[in-house]
Amino acid sequence: MPDSATFKDKMTNAVGKFAGSRFVRAIMQAGYAVIAFSIIGAMFLILEVLPQAFPIPGFASFYASTLGRFTNLFQVAYNSSMGILALIFSGTFTYYYTKIYHDEEHLNLNPLNSLFMFMMAMFLTVPQLIWKNGSVQFVQSLSKTNIIGGGYAVSTSGVTRIGAVGIFTGLVVGWLTVQIYRFTIKHNWSIKMPAAVPAGVANSFSSLIPGFCIAVAVSLINLLLVFAGTDIFKILYIPFSFISNIANTWWGFLIIIFLIHFLWWFGIHGATIMSSFYTPIVLANMAANVKGADYFFAGDPMNAFVIIGGSGATLGMELWMVSRARSIQLKEISKAELVPALFNINEPILFGLPIVYNVQLFVPFVCAPLASGIVGYLAVSSHLVHKIILQQPWPTPIGLGGFIATASWQGAILAFICAIVAFLVWYPFIKHYDRTLLKQEQAQAANQENK
Protein backbone atom coordinates (compact mmCIF):
# COMPACT_ATOMS: atom_id res chain seq x y z
CA MET A 1 0.00 0.00 0.00
CA PRO A 2 2.76 2.53 0.78
CA ASP A 3 4.35 1.78 -2.60
CA SER A 4 1.00 2.34 -4.33
CA ALA A 5 0.44 5.57 -2.45
CA THR A 6 3.96 6.72 -3.31
CA PHE A 7 3.38 5.99 -7.01
CA LYS A 8 0.10 7.92 -6.99
CA ASP A 9 1.72 10.88 -5.25
CA LYS A 10 4.71 10.94 -7.56
CA MET A 11 2.61 10.66 -10.71
CA THR A 12 0.12 13.25 -9.49
CA ASN A 13 2.90 15.69 -8.66
CA ALA A 14 4.73 15.12 -11.96
CA VAL A 15 1.64 15.45 -14.14
CA GLY A 16 0.37 18.33 -12.03
CA LYS A 17 3.60 20.25 -12.62
CA PHE A 18 3.34 19.61 -16.35
CA ALA A 19 -0.31 20.71 -16.46
CA GLY A 20 0.58 23.84 -14.55
CA SER A 21 3.58 24.71 -16.72
CA ARG A 22 3.46 28.05 -18.48
CA PHE A 23 3.77 26.47 -21.91
CA VAL A 24 0.79 24.13 -21.40
CA ARG A 25 -1.40 26.85 -19.91
CA ALA A 26 -0.68 29.10 -22.89
CA ILE A 27 -1.46 26.25 -25.29
CA MET A 28 -4.83 25.70 -23.60
CA GLN A 29 -5.69 29.40 -23.84
CA ALA A 30 -4.84 29.31 -27.54
CA GLY A 31 -7.07 26.27 -28.02
CA TYR A 32 -10.00 28.05 -26.39
CA ALA A 33 -9.45 31.15 -28.54
CA VAL A 34 -9.46 29.18 -31.78
CA ILE A 35 -12.93 27.77 -31.10
CA ALA A 36 -14.62 31.10 -31.81
CA PHE A 37 -12.81 31.49 -35.15
CA SER A 38 -13.49 27.89 -36.14
CA ILE A 39 -17.20 28.43 -35.46
CA ILE A 40 -17.17 31.55 -37.63
CA GLY A 41 -15.49 29.60 -40.41
CA ALA A 42 -17.89 26.71 -39.85
CA MET A 43 -20.91 28.93 -40.48
CA PHE A 44 -19.68 29.76 -43.98
CA LEU A 45 -18.47 26.24 -44.67
CA ILE A 46 -21.91 24.86 -43.80
CA LEU A 47 -23.41 27.19 -46.42
CA GLU A 48 -20.92 25.75 -48.90
CA VAL A 49 -21.63 22.08 -48.12
CA LEU A 50 -25.41 22.26 -47.68
CA PRO A 51 -26.04 19.77 -50.54
CA GLN A 52 -23.89 17.22 -48.69
CA ALA A 53 -25.61 17.86 -45.36
CA PHE A 54 -29.10 17.54 -46.87
CA PRO A 55 -29.04 15.04 -49.77
CA ILE A 56 -32.69 15.64 -50.60
CA PRO A 57 -33.88 15.01 -54.19
CA GLY A 58 -33.97 18.28 -56.10
CA PHE A 59 -32.16 20.23 -53.38
CA ALA A 60 -28.78 20.18 -55.17
CA SER A 61 -30.17 21.85 -58.30
CA PHE A 62 -32.11 24.38 -56.22
CA TYR A 63 -28.93 25.15 -54.26
CA ALA A 64 -26.86 25.54 -57.45
CA SER A 65 -29.27 28.16 -58.78
CA THR A 66 -29.42 30.10 -55.49
CA LEU A 67 -26.77 29.95 -52.76
CA GLY A 68 -24.47 27.92 -54.97
CA ARG A 69 -23.72 31.07 -56.96
CA PHE A 70 -21.83 32.43 -53.95
CA THR A 71 -19.72 29.40 -52.96
CA ASN A 72 -16.46 31.18 -53.78
CA LEU A 73 -17.48 34.02 -51.48
CA PHE A 74 -18.25 31.50 -48.73
CA GLN A 75 -14.81 29.96 -49.34
CA VAL A 76 -13.14 33.36 -48.96
CA ALA A 77 -14.96 33.94 -45.67
CA TYR A 78 -13.91 30.49 -44.45
CA ASN A 79 -10.30 31.14 -45.46
CA SER A 80 -10.34 34.39 -43.49
CA SER A 81 -10.53 32.35 -40.29
CA MET A 82 -9.31 28.80 -40.90
CA GLY A 83 -6.95 29.88 -43.67
CA ILE A 84 -4.87 31.85 -41.16
CA LEU A 85 -5.10 29.27 -38.39
CA ALA A 86 -1.36 29.24 -37.68
CA LEU A 87 -1.43 32.98 -37.02
CA ILE A 88 -4.53 32.81 -34.82
CA PHE A 89 -3.47 29.79 -32.75
CA SER A 90 0.24 30.56 -32.41
CA GLY A 91 -0.36 34.28 -32.02
CA THR A 92 -2.79 33.70 -29.16
CA PHE A 93 -0.32 31.26 -27.62
CA THR A 94 2.42 33.90 -27.79
CA TYR A 95 0.17 36.55 -26.24
CA TYR A 96 -0.84 34.41 -23.25
CA TYR A 97 2.65 32.93 -22.84
CA THR A 98 3.99 36.46 -22.51
CA LYS A 99 1.18 37.50 -20.17
CA ILE A 100 1.90 34.56 -17.87
CA TYR A 101 5.56 35.60 -17.60
CA HIS A 102 4.49 39.20 -17.03
CA ASP A 103 2.13 38.23 -14.20
CA GLU A 104 4.29 35.59 -12.52
CA GLU A 105 7.80 36.95 -12.95
CA HIS A 106 6.69 40.60 -12.74
CA LEU A 107 8.64 41.51 -15.86
CA ASN A 108 7.88 44.56 -17.97
CA LEU A 109 6.63 42.44 -20.87
CA ASN A 110 3.88 43.73 -23.14
CA PRO A 111 1.80 40.81 -24.52
CA LEU A 112 0.59 42.89 -27.46
CA ASN A 113 4.15 43.83 -28.44
CA SER A 114 5.07 40.16 -28.15
CA LEU A 115 2.23 39.24 -30.49
CA PHE A 116 3.44 41.77 -33.08
CA MET A 117 7.02 40.51 -32.81
CA PHE A 118 5.77 36.95 -33.30
CA MET A 119 3.95 38.02 -36.48
CA MET A 120 7.19 39.52 -37.77
CA ALA A 121 9.18 36.41 -36.86
CA MET A 122 6.57 34.07 -38.33
CA PHE A 123 6.55 35.84 -41.68
CA LEU A 124 10.34 35.64 -41.73
CA THR A 125 9.93 31.85 -41.88
CA VAL A 126 7.07 31.65 -44.39
CA PRO A 127 8.86 32.36 -47.73
CA GLN A 128 10.71 29.41 -49.25
CA LEU A 129 14.34 30.25 -49.97
CA ILE A 130 17.24 28.45 -51.66
CA TRP A 131 20.97 29.05 -52.05
CA LYS A 132 21.60 29.37 -55.78
CA ASN A 133 24.38 30.94 -57.85
CA GLY A 134 26.10 32.23 -54.72
CA SER A 135 23.09 34.05 -53.24
CA VAL A 136 19.84 33.52 -51.37
CA GLN A 137 16.94 33.40 -53.82
CA PHE A 138 13.19 32.90 -53.65
CA VAL A 139 11.77 29.56 -54.73
CA GLN A 140 9.61 29.88 -57.86
CA SER A 141 7.20 27.20 -59.09
CA LEU A 142 4.18 27.59 -61.35
CA SER A 143 3.12 23.94 -61.72
CA LYS A 144 -0.57 23.14 -61.15
CA THR A 145 0.14 21.19 -57.97
CA ASN A 146 2.75 23.53 -56.51
CA ILE A 147 2.27 27.24 -57.05
CA ILE A 148 5.03 29.31 -55.43
CA GLY A 149 5.58 32.94 -56.30
CA GLY A 150 8.32 35.00 -54.68
CA GLY A 151 8.84 32.18 -52.17
CA TYR A 152 5.19 32.15 -51.06
CA ALA A 153 3.24 28.93 -51.65
CA VAL A 154 -0.40 29.75 -52.44
CA SER A 155 -3.63 27.91 -53.13
CA THR A 156 -7.36 28.66 -53.16
CA SER A 157 -7.03 28.82 -49.35
CA GLY A 158 -4.54 31.68 -49.51
CA VAL A 159 -0.91 31.63 -48.36
CA THR A 160 -0.38 27.97 -47.52
CA ARG A 161 2.10 28.21 -44.67
CA ILE A 162 -0.01 30.50 -42.48
CA GLY A 163 -2.84 27.97 -42.53
CA ALA A 164 -3.12 24.77 -40.50
CA VAL A 165 0.18 23.39 -41.85
CA GLY A 166 2.01 26.21 -40.06
CA ILE A 167 0.68 25.58 -36.56
CA PHE A 168 3.66 23.60 -35.32
CA THR A 169 6.18 26.06 -36.77
CA GLY A 170 4.14 28.90 -35.29
CA LEU A 171 4.34 27.38 -31.81
CA VAL A 172 8.12 27.04 -32.03
CA VAL A 173 8.48 30.59 -33.36
CA GLY A 174 6.12 31.87 -30.65
CA TRP A 175 8.11 30.13 -27.91
CA LEU A 176 11.37 31.52 -29.31
CA THR A 177 9.89 35.02 -29.55
CA VAL A 178 8.79 35.03 -25.92
CA GLN A 179 12.08 33.62 -24.64
CA ILE A 180 14.19 36.20 -26.52
CA TYR A 181 11.85 39.01 -25.45
CA ARG A 182 12.00 37.79 -21.84
CA PHE A 183 15.81 37.52 -21.94
CA THR A 184 16.31 41.05 -23.27
CA ILE A 185 13.94 42.58 -20.71
CA LYS A 186 15.50 40.65 -17.80
CA HIS A 187 18.91 41.98 -18.84
CA ASN A 188 17.60 45.52 -19.44
CA TRP A 189 18.25 45.44 -23.18
CA SER A 190 15.66 48.08 -23.99
CA ILE A 191 15.36 51.75 -24.78
CA LYS A 192 13.91 53.66 -21.85
CA MET A 193 12.10 56.87 -22.63
CA PRO A 194 11.63 59.84 -20.26
CA ALA A 195 8.53 59.81 -18.06
CA ALA A 196 7.03 62.68 -20.08
CA VAL A 197 6.84 60.53 -23.23
CA PRO A 198 3.32 59.09 -23.84
CA ALA A 199 2.94 55.42 -22.86
CA GLY A 200 2.13 54.35 -26.42
CA VAL A 201 5.34 55.84 -27.77
CA ALA A 202 7.39 54.44 -24.89
CA ASN A 203 5.98 50.94 -25.45
CA SER A 204 6.84 51.03 -29.14
CA PHE A 205 10.47 51.93 -28.39
CA SER A 206 10.69 49.38 -25.58
CA SER A 207 10.16 46.59 -28.13
CA LEU A 208 12.75 47.93 -30.58
CA ILE A 209 15.79 46.05 -29.23
CA PRO A 210 13.89 42.82 -28.42
CA GLY A 211 12.29 42.92 -31.87
CA PHE A 212 15.65 43.43 -33.55
CA CYS A 213 17.15 40.52 -31.60
CA ILE A 214 14.24 38.28 -32.61
CA ALA A 215 14.56 39.28 -36.28
CA VAL A 216 18.31 38.61 -36.27
CA ALA A 217 17.94 35.27 -34.48
CA VAL A 218 15.21 33.97 -36.83
CA SER A 219 17.05 35.26 -39.90
CA LEU A 220 20.24 33.48 -38.85
CA ILE A 221 18.29 30.26 -38.32
CA ASN A 222 16.77 30.72 -41.76
CA LEU A 223 20.18 31.27 -43.33
CA LEU A 224 21.75 28.19 -41.74
CA LEU A 225 18.83 26.05 -42.89
CA VAL A 226 19.00 27.50 -46.43
CA PHE A 227 22.69 26.54 -46.55
CA ALA A 228 21.60 23.04 -45.48
CA GLY A 229 19.05 22.92 -48.32
CA THR A 230 15.97 23.02 -46.12
CA ASP A 231 13.92 25.36 -43.89
CA ILE A 232 12.25 25.36 -40.49
CA PHE A 233 8.92 24.07 -41.87
CA LYS A 234 10.59 21.05 -43.43
CA ILE A 235 12.71 20.38 -40.35
CA LEU A 236 9.76 20.51 -37.93
CA TYR A 237 7.63 18.44 -40.29
CA ILE A 238 9.71 15.34 -39.48
CA PRO A 239 9.03 15.01 -35.70
CA PHE A 240 5.54 16.49 -35.77
CA SER A 241 4.43 14.35 -38.72
CA PHE A 242 5.66 11.31 -36.78
CA ILE A 243 3.51 12.30 -33.81
CA SER A 244 0.55 13.10 -36.08
CA ASN A 245 0.85 9.76 -37.86
CA ILE A 246 0.67 7.93 -34.54
CA ALA A 247 -2.34 9.97 -33.37
CA ASN A 248 -4.12 9.31 -36.66
CA THR A 249 -3.98 5.52 -36.29
CA TRP A 250 -6.83 3.67 -34.58
CA TRP A 251 -4.51 2.42 -31.83
CA GLY A 252 -2.96 5.84 -31.34
CA PHE A 253 -6.46 7.31 -30.97
CA LEU A 254 -7.38 4.66 -28.39
CA ILE A 255 -4.15 5.29 -26.45
CA ILE A 256 -5.09 8.98 -26.21
CA ILE A 257 -8.55 8.06 -24.88
CA PHE A 258 -7.02 5.65 -22.36
CA LEU A 259 -4.49 8.20 -21.10
CA ILE A 260 -7.18 10.86 -20.67
CA HIS A 261 -9.17 8.59 -18.40
CA PHE A 262 -6.21 6.98 -16.67
CA LEU A 263 -5.09 10.45 -15.58
CA TRP A 264 -8.62 11.47 -14.61
CA TRP A 265 -8.92 8.43 -12.33
CA PHE A 266 -6.04 9.89 -10.31
CA GLY A 267 -7.89 13.20 -10.09
CA ILE A 268 -5.80 14.85 -12.80
CA HIS A 269 -7.65 16.64 -15.60
CA GLY A 270 -6.65 14.20 -18.34
CA ALA A 271 -8.49 16.04 -21.10
CA THR A 272 -6.52 19.22 -20.42
CA ILE A 273 -3.20 17.38 -20.37
CA MET A 274 -3.73 15.37 -23.55
CA SER A 275 -5.46 18.10 -25.53
CA SER A 276 -2.40 20.30 -25.06
CA PHE A 277 -0.61 17.70 -27.20
CA TYR A 278 -3.24 16.89 -29.79
CA THR A 279 -5.03 20.24 -30.32
CA PRO A 280 -2.64 21.36 -33.10
CA ILE A 281 -3.04 17.94 -34.74
CA VAL A 282 -6.85 17.92 -34.81
CA LEU A 283 -6.99 21.50 -36.07
CA ALA A 284 -4.59 20.71 -38.89
CA ASN A 285 -6.51 17.52 -39.72
CA MET A 286 -9.84 19.37 -39.79
CA ALA A 287 -8.48 21.92 -42.26
CA ALA A 288 -7.03 19.06 -44.35
CA ASN A 289 -10.40 17.27 -44.36
CA VAL A 290 -12.04 20.33 -45.87
CA LYS A 291 -9.51 20.12 -48.71
CA GLY A 292 -10.14 16.43 -49.35
CA ALA A 293 -8.18 14.51 -46.70
CA ASP A 294 -9.87 11.75 -44.71
CA TYR A 295 -8.90 11.93 -41.03
CA PHE A 296 -11.12 10.81 -38.17
CA PHE A 297 -9.08 12.57 -35.49
CA ALA A 298 -10.08 16.08 -36.53
CA GLY A 299 -11.95 18.98 -34.98
CA ASP A 300 -13.39 17.70 -31.69
CA PRO A 301 -14.29 14.01 -32.10
CA MET A 302 -14.03 13.49 -28.34
CA ASN A 303 -17.04 15.57 -27.34
CA ALA A 304 -18.93 14.72 -30.53
CA PHE A 305 -18.71 10.92 -30.28
CA VAL A 306 -16.47 9.63 -27.48
CA ILE A 307 -16.97 11.31 -24.09
CA ILE A 308 -20.62 12.26 -24.45
CA GLY A 309 -21.78 13.53 -21.08
CA GLY A 310 -18.21 14.19 -19.98
CA SER A 311 -15.07 12.14 -19.40
CA GLY A 312 -15.99 8.48 -19.06
CA ALA A 313 -18.92 8.86 -21.52
CA THR A 314 -21.29 9.06 -18.57
CA LEU A 315 -24.46 10.52 -20.11
CA GLY A 316 -26.30 7.19 -20.39
CA MET A 317 -25.18 6.17 -16.93
CA GLU A 318 -26.36 9.50 -15.55
CA LEU A 319 -29.82 9.09 -17.10
CA TRP A 320 -30.03 5.57 -15.63
CA MET A 321 -29.16 6.85 -12.17
CA VAL A 322 -31.84 9.54 -12.35
CA SER A 323 -34.55 7.05 -13.27
CA ARG A 324 -33.45 3.70 -11.81
CA ALA A 325 -30.92 4.14 -9.00
CA ARG A 326 -32.13 2.95 -5.59
CA SER A 327 -29.36 4.21 -3.34
CA ILE A 328 -29.78 7.67 -1.90
CA GLN A 329 -26.22 8.66 -2.82
CA LEU A 330 -26.63 7.95 -6.52
CA LYS A 331 -30.10 9.51 -6.64
CA GLU A 332 -28.96 12.78 -5.09
CA ILE A 333 -25.81 13.06 -7.16
CA SER A 334 -27.67 12.30 -10.37
CA LYS A 335 -30.16 15.10 -9.70
CA ALA A 336 -27.34 17.63 -9.37
CA GLU A 337 -25.55 16.27 -12.46
CA LEU A 338 -28.46 15.90 -14.90
CA VAL A 339 -28.32 19.33 -16.56
CA PRO A 340 -24.50 19.64 -16.66
CA ALA A 341 -24.25 16.15 -18.22
CA LEU A 342 -26.31 17.30 -21.20
CA PHE A 343 -23.51 19.78 -21.90
CA ASN A 344 -20.62 17.32 -21.40
CA ILE A 345 -19.82 18.48 -17.88
CA ASN A 346 -19.56 15.77 -15.24
CA GLU A 347 -17.19 16.86 -12.46
CA PRO A 348 -19.99 16.30 -9.87
CA ILE A 349 -20.03 12.62 -10.84
CA LEU A 350 -16.26 12.26 -11.07
CA PHE A 351 -15.71 13.55 -7.55
CA GLY A 352 -19.12 12.93 -5.99
CA LEU A 353 -19.96 9.40 -7.07
CA PRO A 354 -16.98 9.13 -6.81
CA ILE A 355 -15.16 7.76 -9.85
CA VAL A 356 -11.76 9.22 -8.95
CA TYR A 357 -9.76 6.60 -7.02
CA ASN A 358 -12.78 4.26 -7.04
CA VAL A 359 -11.49 0.80 -7.96
CA GLN A 360 -15.02 -0.52 -8.54
CA LEU A 361 -15.65 1.97 -11.36
CA PHE A 362 -12.20 2.12 -12.97
CA VAL A 363 -12.98 -0.48 -15.66
CA PRO A 364 -16.19 1.13 -17.05
CA PHE A 365 -14.72 4.62 -16.71
CA VAL A 366 -11.88 3.64 -19.06
CA CYS A 367 -13.65 1.05 -21.24
CA ALA A 368 -16.90 2.95 -21.97
CA PRO A 369 -15.16 5.80 -23.88
CA LEU A 370 -12.87 3.25 -25.56
CA ALA A 371 -15.98 1.42 -26.80
CA SER A 372 -17.70 4.59 -28.03
CA GLY A 373 -14.41 5.69 -29.60
CA ILE A 374 -14.11 2.44 -31.54
CA VAL A 375 -17.68 2.75 -32.83
CA GLY A 376 -17.13 6.37 -33.86
CA TYR A 377 -13.82 5.59 -35.54
CA LEU A 378 -15.21 2.63 -37.50
CA ALA A 379 -18.33 4.52 -38.61
CA VAL A 380 -16.39 7.50 -39.95
CA SER A 381 -13.38 5.62 -41.36
CA SER A 382 -15.69 3.22 -43.23
CA HIS A 383 -17.55 6.26 -44.68
CA LEU A 384 -20.89 5.30 -43.14
CA VAL A 385 -20.76 8.76 -41.59
CA HIS A 386 -19.26 11.84 -43.22
CA LYS A 387 -15.78 12.88 -42.03
CA ILE A 388 -15.36 15.68 -39.50
CA ILE A 389 -14.98 19.07 -41.17
CA LEU A 390 -16.15 21.44 -38.42
CA GLN A 391 -15.34 22.01 -34.77
CA GLN A 392 -18.36 22.30 -32.53
CA PRO A 393 -18.15 24.01 -29.10
CA TRP A 394 -17.29 21.26 -26.60
CA PRO A 395 -20.45 21.75 -24.46
CA THR A 396 -22.72 21.11 -27.48
CA PRO A 397 -25.43 18.57 -26.48
CA ILE A 398 -25.57 15.02 -27.82
CA GLY A 399 -26.63 14.72 -31.46
CA LEU A 400 -26.21 18.38 -32.25
CA GLY A 401 -22.46 18.10 -31.73
CA GLY A 402 -22.23 15.14 -34.12
CA PHE A 403 -24.36 16.93 -36.69
CA ILE A 404 -22.22 20.08 -36.61
CA ALA A 405 -18.93 18.18 -36.64
CA THR A 406 -19.78 16.18 -39.78
CA ALA A 407 -22.39 18.52 -41.31
CA SER A 408 -24.62 15.46 -41.70
CA TRP A 409 -27.63 13.89 -40.03
CA GLN A 410 -25.69 10.62 -39.91
CA GLY A 411 -23.29 12.30 -37.47
CA ALA A 412 -26.19 13.05 -35.12
CA ILE A 413 -27.36 9.42 -35.19
CA LEU A 414 -23.82 8.17 -34.63
CA ALA A 415 -23.53 10.28 -31.47
CA PHE A 416 -26.61 8.57 -29.98
CA ILE A 417 -25.30 5.14 -30.98
CA CYS A 418 -21.96 5.89 -29.31
CA ALA A 419 -23.73 7.02 -26.13
CA ILE A 420 -25.78 3.80 -26.06
CA VAL A 421 -22.66 1.65 -26.55
CA ALA A 422 -20.94 3.46 -23.69
CA PHE A 423 -23.96 2.94 -21.44
CA LEU A 424 -24.00 -0.80 -22.18
CA VAL A 425 -20.46 -0.95 -20.81
CA TRP A 426 -21.47 1.07 -17.75
CA TYR A 427 -24.71 -0.77 -16.97
CA PRO A 428 -23.54 -3.90 -15.08
CA PHE A 429 -20.97 -1.92 -13.10
CA ILE A 430 -23.19 0.98 -12.07
CA LYS A 431 -26.03 -1.41 -11.22
CA HIS A 432 -23.74 -3.45 -8.98
CA TYR A 433 -22.35 -0.28 -7.42
CA ASP A 434 -25.89 0.97 -6.73
CA ARG A 435 -26.73 -2.30 -4.96
CA THR A 436 -23.55 -2.07 -2.90
CA LEU A 437 -24.34 1.49 -1.79
CA LEU A 438 -27.96 0.55 -1.05
CA LYS A 439 -26.82 -2.28 1.25
CA GLN A 440 -24.42 0.07 3.02
CA GLU A 441 -27.15 2.67 3.50
CA GLN A 442 -29.57 0.05 4.81
CA ALA A 443 -26.93 -1.27 7.21
CA GLN A 444 -26.23 2.25 8.47
CA ALA A 445 -29.95 2.90 8.92
CA ALA A 446 -30.31 -0.36 10.89
CA ASN A 447 -27.38 0.59 13.14
CA GLN A 448 -28.95 3.97 13.79
CA GLU A 449 -32.24 2.31 14.81
CA ASN A 450 -30.45 -0.12 17.14
CA LYS A 451 -28.74 2.75 18.87
How large a percentage of the chain has pLDDT more than 70?
Answer: 93
Last residue of a domain, one of 220, 242, 264: 242
- Please check whether residue 67 lies inside any domain of the structure: no
With 50 as the cut, is the pLDDT of residue 31 above it?
yes
- Please check whether residue 209 lies inside any domain of the structure: yes
340-356 pLDDT tens trace: 888 888 888 888 888 88
Residues 232 and 276 in one domain: no
Residue 47 has a pLDDT of 83
The residue segments making up the domain with residue 433 are 248-450
Residues 230 and 362 in one domain: no
* Mean confidence (pLDDT) of the chain: 87
Secondary structure (3-state) at 206: helix
Split at pLDDT 50, 70, 90, the class of 207 is confident
11-23 pLDDT tens trace: 667 766 777 789 8
Q: Which residue has the higher pLDDT, 366 or 392?
A: 366
Residue 176 near residue 219 (C-beta atoms within 8 A): no
The shares of helix, strand and coil residues in the chain, as percent rounded to the nearest 5, are 70, 5, 25
Residue 294, CA distances (Å) to 240, 248, 388, 392 in order: 18, 10, 9, 18
Last residue of a domain, one of 213, 242, 271: 242
Residues 185 and 289 in one domain: no
Split at pLDDT 50, 70, 90, the class of 250 is very high
61-110 pLDDT tens trace: 888 888 889 888 988 888 888 888 889 999 999 999 999 999 999 998 99
- Please check whether residue 230 lies inside any domain of the structure: yes
* pTM of the shown model: 0.76
Number of domains in the chain: 2
With 60 as the cut, is the pLDDT of residue 3 above it?
no
Residues 281 and 235 in one domain: no
Residues 91 and 229 in one domain: yes
Residues 234 and 284 in one domain: no
Residues 270 and 295 in one domain: yes
- Please check whether residue 162 lies inside any domain of the structure: yes
Given CA atoms 37, 380, 281, 267 in this order, what sign does their dihedral have?
Answer: positive
Amino acid at 68: G
Nearest to 305 by CA among 192, 388, 246, 227: 388
- Please check whether residue 42 lies inside any domain of the structure: no
389-447 pLDDT tens trace: 988 888 889 999 999 899 889 999 999 999 999 999 999 999 999 999 999 888 888 87
Residues 238 and 253 in one domain: no
Residue 174 has a pLDDT of 96
Residue 218 has a pLDDT of 96
Residues 265 and 361 in one domain: yes
